[in-house]
């Protein structure tokens, strides 16, 4: 029998991890061509091992957005010094080799389409969110919509039936801004003897 748990978090509690947060810290640390280290980045993140922050910083180095002033790429060395050479406002979406990636861009495109449409079903949203570069899959769109619906972003105007698709609209009060809501998965230790979670759950962004 699988374990089913409901987690409760404090409303408005910030999460100091993830690429968006790493990028905002790097932009701040790198102002006016200032040098910075991985340790300085890690100190402002809720990432005890700094492995994810190091991975993001390494991708920025390989993309030419950050340069190594001294030492080696992050991950190969924890004593390197870096400098920000490009400052795009959006968080860079990069593959491990530094090439442009698509993780996060799928959700971004779906969110833009949701904000632009008055009402929509899954097929309409799939078409509206697709571009020449990234063609959406209906299953991916439907999964993201399901998460937003459960989180209270969407109002169901018509429920799904065998003959008719469900129709939704974005609640005006939940049009929170241009950045797409991110879907997180939580990794945790559950003690079946105590029937409680031990330690602090770690939230990780789900790739899309």
Confidence of residue 13 (pLDDT cuts 50, 70, 90): low
63, 125: one domain: no
**pLDDT tens digit string along 108-141?**
999 999 999 999 999 999 999 999 988 999 999 9
- Tell me whether residue 51 is in a domain: yes
Least confident of 45-49, 88-92, 111-115, 173-177: 45-49
CATH number at 78 reads 1.10.10
For 77-90, what is each residue's pLDDT tens digit? 778 999 999 998 88
Q: How many helices (H) and strands (E) does the chain have?
A: 6, 7
- Per-residue pLDDT, 16: 72
133 and 204 inside one domain: yes
Q: What is the CATH number of the domain that holds 190?
A: 1.10.10.10
CA–CA dist 154, 176 (Å, integer):
12
Identify the domain containing residue 175 by its residue range: 102-208
Measured at the alpha carbon of residue 67, what is the angle toward residues 65 and 68, in degrees to the nearest 5? 155
Same domain, 29 and 63: yes
Establish if 4 belongs to a structural domain: no
Task: Provide the residue count of the chain.
Answer: 208
Whether residue 12 is contained in a domain is answered as: no
**Residue 3 maps to a domain:** no
* CA pair distance 57, 51, nearest whole angstrom: 10
Average of per-residue pLDDT across 142-155:
95
The answer to whether residue 8 is domain-embedded is no
Number of domains forming the structure of the chain: 2
Which residue among 32, 56, 84 closes a domain? Answer: 84
User: What would the mean pLDDT of 64-74 be, rounded to a whole number?
Assistant: 91
Residue whose C-alpha is closest to residue 185's, from 161, 203, 201, 169: 203
Is residue 108 situated within a structural domain?
yes
The pLDDT > 90 percentage for the chain reads 56
């Amino acid at each position: 029998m699988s374990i089913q748990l409901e987690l409760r978090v404090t409303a408005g509690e910030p999460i100091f991890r993830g690429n968006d947060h790493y990028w905002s810290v790097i932009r701040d640390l790198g102002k006016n061509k200032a040098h910075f280290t991985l340790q300085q980045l890690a100190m402002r993140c809720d990432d005890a091992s700094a492995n994810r922050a190091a991975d993001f910083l390494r991708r920025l180095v390989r993309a030419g957005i950050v340069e190594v002033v001294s030492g080696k790429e992050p991950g190969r060395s924890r004593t390197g010094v870096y400098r920000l050479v490009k400052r795009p406002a959006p968080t860079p979406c990069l593959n491990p080799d530094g090439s442009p990636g698509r993780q996060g861009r799928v959700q971004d495109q779906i969110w833009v389409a949701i904000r632009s449409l008055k009402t929509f079903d899954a097929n309409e949203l799939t078409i509206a969110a697709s571009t020449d570069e990234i063609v959406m899959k209906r299953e991916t769109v439907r999964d993201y919509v399901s998460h937003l619906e459960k989180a209270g972003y969407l109002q169901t105007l018509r429920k799904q039936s065998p003959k008719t698709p469900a129709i939704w609209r974005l609640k005006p009060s939940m049009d929170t801004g241009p950045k797409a809501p991110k879907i997180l998965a939580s990794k945790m230790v559950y003690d079946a003897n105590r029937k409680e979670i031990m330690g602090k759950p770690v939230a990780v962004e789900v790739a899309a």
